[in-house]
A and B are shown apart, each in its own frame.
Chain A
């Protein structure tokens, strides 16, 4: 398998076939909470991409160079990853605020929201800890693979949340029955979108 094909399959698998929101049902709280407007959802997905990539890289390093050599990874990985991710996000928030105020305005308000987001933690754990969730990489990821994989997962999250925001924008002017207004209709729409995404199963033999 050529390197390009390998990384392409990794990308498509995380982006669409195993979409983190629609297929794996991880990260549902920001998915429902922030998908009210297309603009804010784009900002949110940018922030998630950023944090998820950094968090995965950081936890990969911590897993391979601290947890495994000490032999405490099996029971200590969740607290350590949360610690690493939370402080990393805090630091990045301060750094962006100082260095680039426009970027901070675009995604700064979402950064604290995703500090210990389940999607970020799940992806970081999956990338670092071999065999976690037992998906298509049971032997564990190399560092580059992990970064590519977490960018793809985050883009899949962005895809889901932007689709949802666009549908909800359109629904604002639709005659929704009174008893379905608000979250009930959003849940139904999300379920239908999830069913649609399940149609991708088996793409490229995955």
Chain B
């Protein structure tokens, strides 16, 4: 047996390793890059779900923007006041705590068994595609399509679809990031203040007769609730609009609403 080959192999591997190692060691000194340690610290307190609600490409982009001063310390909408406070602590600035909590509400209260349909939708099970292709299977052009795009979009799994195929929001998991608000192709999910007392569960801008012909739960713009309590309620484009600045409460209007679409709200 040729024992020389052992030395050749050992020499080759050892030599190559030494060569490569020296090149890498040299390169790590010559090609060193200063990484701002503050960015990593900010990144570590952000939620890290990369939801994109702040408008930056993921949490890393947000952290860079916050450190560079391009974004405010409370840029993270998903994290809310706690994360803003933590970021402020990392940056060494005083956080102003603002208590202005909101909650997402679906502005539609249809009943899938009663609502009028134009046919059977057999396409892709997705609201965005259904809205683009056939406007879903509902005759109402303002109603919830029910294909759960908001549920799929929610980065925090706070949305479940009930047996009526309407989204239900788990306010404990919800971080108010607003991804569902921008996802819904019909704009049915909107934020209301958490202390709101009334919600209008309809978004139809059709006239009363047309609404009644397709859905028994829609706002027919009869104006009974507006007559009952004019302060804070108004009719705009055939729908009741609630002025949450005044935060009205209207038990008589709720009681008299003929289609029961004006409902009391409790977060």
Contact = CB atoms under 8 A, between A and B. Distances in A.
A72 B31 CA distance: 35
B13 interface: yes
A87 B23 contact: yes
A11 B20 CA distance: 32
B9 interface: yes
Nearest to B149: A173
A98 interface: yes
Contact of A79 (B5, B8, B13, B31): B13
Nearest to B21: A87
Contact of B125 (A71, A91, A175): A175
A97 interface: yes
A83 B17 contact: yes
A173 B12 contact: no
Contacts of B124: 173-174
B16 interface: yes
A136 interface: no
B12 A91 contact: no
A79 B27 CA distance: 23
A77 to B, nearest CB: 11
Contact of A83 (B20, B28, B129): B20
Contacts of B31: 94-95, 97-98
Contacts of B125: 173-175
Contacts of A72: 5, 8-9, 12
A111 to B, nearest CB: 14
Contact of A71 (B5, B20, B129): B5
A90 B20 CA distance: 10
Contacts, number: 52
Contacts of A144: none
Given A70-B12, A72-B5, A79-B13, A87 B20 contact: yes
Contacts of A91: 23-24, 27
Residues of A contacting B: mostly: helix
Contact of B27 (A66, A71, A95, A173): A95
B24 A87 contact: yes
Interface in A125-156: none
A3 interface: no
Interface residues of A, number: 22
Contacts of B93: none
A163 interface: no
A81 to B, nearest CB: 10
B33 interface: yes
A71 B33 CA distance: 41
A80 interface: yes
Contacts of B33: 97-98
A84 interface: yes
A90 B24 contact: yes
B15 to A, nearest CB: 9
B230 to A, nearest CB: 46
Given A98-B33, A173-B124, A173-B125, A67 B24 contact: no
B126 interface: yes
Contacts of A90: 24
A1 interface: no
A75 B21 CA distance: 23
B9 A76 contact: yes
Contacts of A83: 13, 16-17, 20
B13 A76 contact: yes
A165 to B, nearest CB: 18
Contact of A80 (B5, B12, B21, B126): B12
B28 A70 contact: no
A179 B4 CA distance: 59
Interface of A: 62, 66-67, 70-72, 75-76, 79-80, 83-84, 87, 90-91, 94-95, 97-98, 173-175
Given A98-B31, A98-B33, A175-B125, 9 more contacts: A66-B12, A66-B16, A71-B8, A72-B5, A76-B12, A84-B16, A84-B20, A95-B27, A173-B129
27 contacts: A62-B16, A66-B12, A70-B9, A70-B12, A71-B5, A72-B8, A72-B12, A83-B13, A83-B16, A83-B20, A84-B20, A87-B20, A87-B21, A87-B23, A91-B23, A91-B24, A91-B27, A94-B24, A94-B28, A97-B33, A98-B31, A98-B33, A173-B126, A173-B129, A174-B124, A174-B125, A175-B125
